Structure 1
Amino acid sequence: MHVSNVNFSGQFQNYRACTENLLPVNYDQIRRSRIPFASASASLSDADRALLDNVVTFVLADPSVERVFVDGHSDRLGSRIDNRALSEERANVVADYLKARGVSEDLITVRAHGDQYPVSRRPADNRRTNIRLQREGERPELQQANGYGGDSAEDGPG
């Protein structure tokens, strides 16, 4: 099979115009996202902002997204009170970024878990904020937090 160059330029321009309108990510790629944090930090990196910008772009383009859960977590280093406050600060930094970029506050549910739901024995893995999108008709009680079939209280209703 051969591709002819006759009239190719016009069709190629149409193709390029079409692909420019595609979203940078699809639902499966973005429905569960993780923002890692350094110890005792609630600062977003450029890479974190790029990921959050993709979340924003998707949420604003897909009207079936009815909820954005933002769950802050910490490691077990330090006091539980400090860890709870830090996890809340992390979740709020992420939620504020989403709101500042146009995601409706009504869609966002912020929760702070402190060191209550570790995902690893490595402290660095537990210093995170998870973002989970929920579409209309999805049943949250059937979704797992880690994507591998494990249960987690953070994915329960509300």
Structure 2
Amino acid sequence: MLRLSVLCFGLLCGSSHAAMRQYAAPVESSAWMLQESSRLTCALAHTLPGYGSATFTSMASKQLNMEFELDMKLLPKRFGTAAVYSVPPQWMPGKAQRKLADMTIRTQYNGDLPEDVAWTMLSELEKGHWPTIYYQDWYNQADKVAVSLNASNFYNEYQSFVNCVSNLLPYSFEDIAYTVLSYEKNSTKLTRYSQRQLEMIGEYLKEDTALELVLIDGHADSWGASGRNEQLSIRRANVIKDYFTQMGVEADRIDITGHGERRHIAPNDTPESRALNRRVIVQLSKV
């Protein structure tokens, strides 16, 4: 365990007899690891000997995001507040520590911080500063606790993490879990926009094929004989099923239904309204 020289302030300035328990990885063995690296999730983890670990995570989404979680071996016993500071190490004389945020301590939950604070902590680590979390120990009222993220050996893994984040898919599972695909007239050919939607689903399935169930509902407009339209709706659904199995989804987890010209969502009295009825609805569900 590496001891830090810190100033007494606010949350920490209680009894002069209070002890400070400090947790941080030693400089010589400080380890950062790209714990998860895919187009769905990027996670950068840091081990805190005797305490737990700290993890920064970003997920595939339409919006760039970042979360910080402090994984504690001993979860909080009561509610409280921790102070988060950026503390320069001892070999940066003249640099002042500064407060970054407060972190809510919740009973029996790990600590976490929102996106803006998480990004700030990463930038402080990149500068060589140590983000440090201070709080009153919930198991020993005579003790204060300081948990520091050691910036040693951070930079190279952080660059790998940044590269991973930049390659995340620009949409999440929720964005593709319910998709309506449209078709050209009297055809199993998708419109250009729907082809791109299907490709998005395919890109996701390359990363995650662990789906519990895929429901594919094929539909047709009322142009032509009803029996023919029902078969066309089934062919449309089967084409999508074949695409998913090629992406690695097990065939027995895919359920298709052809509704023909039933279940219209628009009248069939204009070319525009008939186009709305030529569709396949794809519903994905995960455990």
| TM-score scaled by length of structure 2 | 0.41
**SS in structure 1 at match of 2:179:** strand
Corresponding position of 2:165: 19
Q: Give the drift of 1:23.
A: 3.4
Query: How far, CA to CA, are the matches of 1:128 and 1:55 in structure 2?
Result: 16
Equivalenced residue count is 135
Q: Give the drift of 1:61.
A: 1.4
Matching of residues 143-154 of structure 1 within 5 Å: none
Q: Which has the higher strand share?
A: 2
Query: How far, CA to CA, are the matches of 1:90 and 1:36 in structure 2?
Result: 10
Corresponding position of 1:144: none
**SS in structure 1 at match of 2:237:** helix
Q: Percent identity?
A: 28
Pair 1:125 & 2:271 matched: no
Query: How far, CA to CA, are the matches of 2:229 and 2:186 in structure 1?
Result: 9
Q: Is the 8 A contact 1:52 1:98 kept in 2?
A: no
In terms of mean alpha carbon deviation, does 14-23 or 35-44 score higher? 14-23
Superposition CA RMSD, Å: 2.9
Letter of the 2:277 counterpart = N
Deviations 1:9-61 (A, max 9, x none): 86873343221553342122101111110110102456444422332343451
Q: Give the drift of 1:92.
A: 0.8
Letter of the 2:199 counterpart = D
Larger Rg: 2
Query: How far, CA to CA, are the matches of 1:38 and 1:46 in structure 2?
Result: 9
Query: How far, CA to CA, are the matches of 1:33 and 1:126 in structure 2?
Result: 14
Q: Using a 3 Å threshold, how does the CA distance of structure 1 residues 40 and 92 change in structure 2: closer, same or farther? A: same
Corresponding position of 1:92: 238
Unaligned runs of 5+ in 1: 137-158
**SS in structure 2 at match of 1:34:** strand
Pair 1:51 & 2:197 matched: yes
